[in-house]
């Protein structure tokens, strides 16, 4: 559903089509009619334990929004919850990023949002992406992975392979007046599909886990 939020500098209010009026978020609110739906599906001991849709956080202008998802991933995989890539937000709010280790923590997938204006409502449209959820192998952010980094202090430290790669990636395409636009994107898509972009050969990739 479309959702509107307004922050007066102290309190947060929310509104949706069909609501009688603006409602204070103090401190949490359920998605309309969701509590009843949850209680019909949940075991008896869990009835009345539906996750809230909106929760006001202690920090000014901060709230938590439940995506409506509960997530579980394969062992060794987490979820990165972040703003959508390459898509500008409509304005009036900013999203935080966070990694949830959903291979051993199962529960509602939330995101934190900070309202950044007080003079008019912030409109979250049902047909506009609010966030992106990206599967992430824990190996990618493990301490031994992040610490295994070498920094070249200046261009004098670049070797022949580095300069050859720069030639093929930057210089050669620029010198070709007939180069197609979007060549990198096409090559990247072909690699993801297991097709070598230079030979047309089919390759086989083995995924480490299914998420």
- For residue 201, tell me if it sits in a domain: no
Greater pLDDT, 170 or 16:
16
- For residue 131, tell me if it sits in a domain: yes
What pLDDT band is residue 2 in, cutting at 50, 70 and 90? Answer: very high
Parent domain of 187: 156-192
- Does residue 157 register a pLDDT over 70? yes
- The torsion of the CA quartet 52, 56, 61, 67, rounded to 10 degrees, works out to -10
Same domain, 122 and 66: yes
Using alpha carbons, select from 126, 84, 121, 82 the residue that is nearest to residue 100.
82
Same domain, 110 and 160: no
pLDDT of 202: 44
Q: What is the pLDDT of residues 31-82, one digit of tens each?
A: 999 999 999 999 999 999 999 999 999 999 999 999 999 999 999 999 999 9
- Residues 181-203, mean pLDDT to the nearest whole number: 65
- For residue 209, tell me if it sits in a domain: no
pLDDT of 177: 80
- Residues 162-177, mean pLDDT to the nearest whole number: 89
Same domain, 31 and 106: yes
Query: Which residue, chain included where needed, has tokens 């062992």?
Result: 75
How many domains, in total, are found in the chain? 2
Same domain, 124 and 161: no
pTM surpassing 0.95? no
Q: What is the pLDDT of residues 189-198, one digit of tens each?
A: 888 787 544 4
- For residue 29, tell me if it sits in a domain: yes
Average pLDDT, the chain: 89
* Percent of the chain residues topping a pLDDT of 90: 75
- Does residue 208 register a pLDDT over 80? no
Q: What is the pLDDT of residues 14-34, one digit of tens each?
A: 999 999 999 999 899 999 999
- For residue 208, tell me if it sits in a domain: no
- Does residue 185 register a pLDDT over 70? yes
Same domain, 11 and 111: yes
Same domain, 136 and 161: no
Q: Both tokens of residue 133? A: 């959820």
Using alpha carbons, select from 89, 16, 5, 100 the residue that is nearest to residue 55.
5
Same domain, 59 and 118: yes
- For residue 119, tell me if it sits in a domain: yes
- Does residue 126 register a pLDDT over 80? yes
Tell me how far apart the alpha carbons of residues 93 and 15 are, in angstroms, rounded to a whole number. Answer: 16
Using alpha carbons, select from 52, 51, 55, 1 the residue that is nearest to residue 25.
55
pLDDT of 195: 57
Q: What is the CATH number of the domain that holds 104?
A: 2.70.40.10
Same domain, 67 and 160: no
Q: How many CB atoms lie within 10 A of CB 12?
A: 24
Using alpha carbons, select from 107, 100, 119 the residue that is nearest to residue 61.
119
Query: Which residue, chain included where needed, has tokens 């409502």?
Result: 121
Same domain, 98 and 170: no
Tell me how far apart the alpha carbons of residues 171 and 155 are, in angstroms, rounded to a whole number. Answer: 17
- For residue 108, tell me if it sits in a domain: yes
Question: Which of the listed residues 144, 170, 204 is the one where a domain comes to its end?
Answer: 144
């Amino acid at each position: 559903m479309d959702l509107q939020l307004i922050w007066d500098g102290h309190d947060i209010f929310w509104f949706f089509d069909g609501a009688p009026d603006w409602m204070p978020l103090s401190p949490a609110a359920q998605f309309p009619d969701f509590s009843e739906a949850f209680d019909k599906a949940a075991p008896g001991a869990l009835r009345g334990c539906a996750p809230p849709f909106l929760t006001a956080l202690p920090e000014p202008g901060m709230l938590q929004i439940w995506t409506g998802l509960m997530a579980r991933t394969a062992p060794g995989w987490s979820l990165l919850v972040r703003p959508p890539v390459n898509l500008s937000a409509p304005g009036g709010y900013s999203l935080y990023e966070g990694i949830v280790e959903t291979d051993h923590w199962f529960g509602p997938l939330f995101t934190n949002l900070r309202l950044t204006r007080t003079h008019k409502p912030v409109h979250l449209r049902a047909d506009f992406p609010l966030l992106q959820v990206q599967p992430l192998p824990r190996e990618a952010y493990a301490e031994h992975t992040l610490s295994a980094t070498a920094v070249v202090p200046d261009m004098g430290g670049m070797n022949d392979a580095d300069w050859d790669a720069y030639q093929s990636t930057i210089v050669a395409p620029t010198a070709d007046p007939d180069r197609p636009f979007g060549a990198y994107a096409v090559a990247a898509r072909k690699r993801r599909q297991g097709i070598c972009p230079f030979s047309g050969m089919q390759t086989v990739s083995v995924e480490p886990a299914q998420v």
